[in-house]
Amino acid sequence: MKIKQFIPVLAFWALGSSAAYATTVGFSQVGSESGWRTSFSEAVKAEAKERGIDLKFSDAQQKQENQIKAVRSFIAQGVDAIIVAPVVETGWTPVLKEAKRARIPVVIVDRNIKVSNDNLYLTRIASDFREEGVKIANWLMDTTQGNCRIAELQGTVGATAAIDRAAGFNDVIANYPNATIVRSQTGEFTRAKGKEVMESFLKSQPADEPFCAVWSHNDEMALGAVQAIKEAGLKPGIDILVVAVDGVPDYFKAMAEGDTNATVELSPYLGAPSFDVIEKYLAGDKNIPKLISTTGDVFTQATAAEEYKKRANR
């Protein structure tokens, strides 16, 4: 090929490759343990594609060591920014110091982290989990006039969503002497484990002290509890009220069918605010708050059918 012919090819290659991806972002995701988590991942991928961002996605299968490995890999690749959705709160300082040394900004999304210095991350984008616990507890106390023997399905041990939702819920029921959590165990935010734990609760609870409600830290475990309640010959949503957090389509469907009673919506659309803050930072604007929080509403059977239709086709 003569040099004259070569120049346009070189120019095309240079333009083509640089125009394809202006920004590269590494995203360390917890896993795919729940419908909400899957929606969150899909929303981030769709948003990155929409913006022409080269997204390096890693699913940690709920293991922090996999998240740390992924962050180290992103650093080695020299990405422009890193998003971490942390599985648990502790153990992040060393790898965030490595990102800091590499001058790569880190955005924490969803659950929180406990670090020695909050300059190790740019900002956190998350829902107010404690408020979610308060809202769902208020709904349950209003519905039962504060008389309720509760079974609790906790989320992942050490996860902010589990810690803070429980704190908010417990603060509300502390005002009702006849509202008590009589059984509590982690269902690890999964449907299968939620069913298994609810089965054990139902087997061990004295027949003359029936549960009034099951309080689940996410919809996924609650849907597992619904299966266990049915297999025990009881009517979920009637014999035992079912309340949770997330607002996933399957849960709205169960509410429309009368099997569950209420949930607090947690938006999975966390990609847009994450990329907004990254683009802002990379453009040189350092005026970024340490917390960008979202909130969700309580949804009940009254609007479940129409809300399900809206979400099922998203």
Q: How far is the CB of 119 from ligand GZL (least distance, A)?
A: 24
Quick check: 250 and 224 in contact, CB under 8 A? no
80 versus 110: smaller Cβ distance to ligand GZL? 110
Quick check: 35 and 249 in contact, CB under 8 A? yes
Tell me the β-bridge partners of 29.
Answer: 59
Among 110, 152, 196, 307, binds ligand GZL (CB under 6 A): 110
Among 245, 254, 255, 304, binds ligand GZL (CB under 6 A): 245
Residues 6+ apart with CB under 8 A from 37: 29, 30, 31, 189
Number of residues that bind ligand GZL (CB under 6 A): 14
**111 forms part of the interface with ligand GZL (CB under 6 A):** yes
**113 forms part of the interface with ligand GZL (CB under 6 A):** no
What part of residues 165-194 is at the interface with ligand GZL (CB under 6 A)?
189
Residues 6+ apart with CB under 8 A from 229: 198, 202, 214, 235, 236, 239, 240, 242
CA-atom Rg of the chain in angstroms: 23
**41 forms part of the interface with ligand GZL (CB under 6 A):** no
Q: How far is the CB of 279 from ligand GZL (least distance, A)?
A: 23
252 versus 281: smaller Cβ distance to ligand GZL? 252
Nearest alpha carbon to residue 86 among 48, 51, 105, 58: 58
Task: For residues 249 and 252, give the distance between their C-alpha atoms in angstroms, rounded to a whole number.
Answer: 5
Q: How far is the CB of 249 from ligand GZL (least distance, A)?
A: 13
Q: How far is the CB of 57 from ligand GZL (least distance, A)?
A: 17
Q: How many helices (H) and strands (E) does the chain have?
A: 11, 12
Q: How far is the CB of 233 from ligand GZL (least distance, A)?
A: 28
111 versus 253: smaller Cβ distance to ligand GZL? 111
**What residue type is assigned to position 46 of the chain?**
A
| Segment interacting with ligand GZL, rule: CB under 6 A, options 30-38, 50-58, 200-208, 289-297 | 30-38
Among 80, 152, 164, 246, binds ligand GZL (CB under 6 A): 246
**37 forms part of the interface with ligand GZL (CB under 6 A):** yes
| Segment interacting with ligand GZL, rule: CB under 6 A, options 15-23, 31-39, 231-239, 273-281 | 31-39
Beta strands in the chain (DSSP E): 23-29, 53-59, 81-84, 106-109, 123-127, 148-154, 179-186, 213-216, 241-246, 262-265, 291-294, 298-300
36 versus 92: smaller Cβ distance to ligand GZL? 36
**266 forms part of the interface with ligand GZL (CB under 6 A):** yes
Q: Which helix (H) or strand (E) holds 179?
A: strand 179-186
**218 forms part of the interface with ligand GZL (CB under 6 A):** yes
Quick check: 238 and 210 in contact, CB under 8 A? no
Nearest alpha carbon to residue 239 among 277, 210, 205: 210
Dihedral sign computed on CA atoms, order 132, 135, 139, 140: positive
34 versus 67: smaller Cβ distance to ligand GZL? 34
Task: For residues 79 and 233, give the distance between their C-alpha atoms in angstroms, rounded to a whole number.
Answer: 54
36 versus 139: smaller Cβ distance to ligand GZL? 36
Residue ranges that bind ligand GZL, judged by CB under 6 A: 33-34, 36-37, 110-111, 127, 161, 189, 218, 220, 245-246, 266
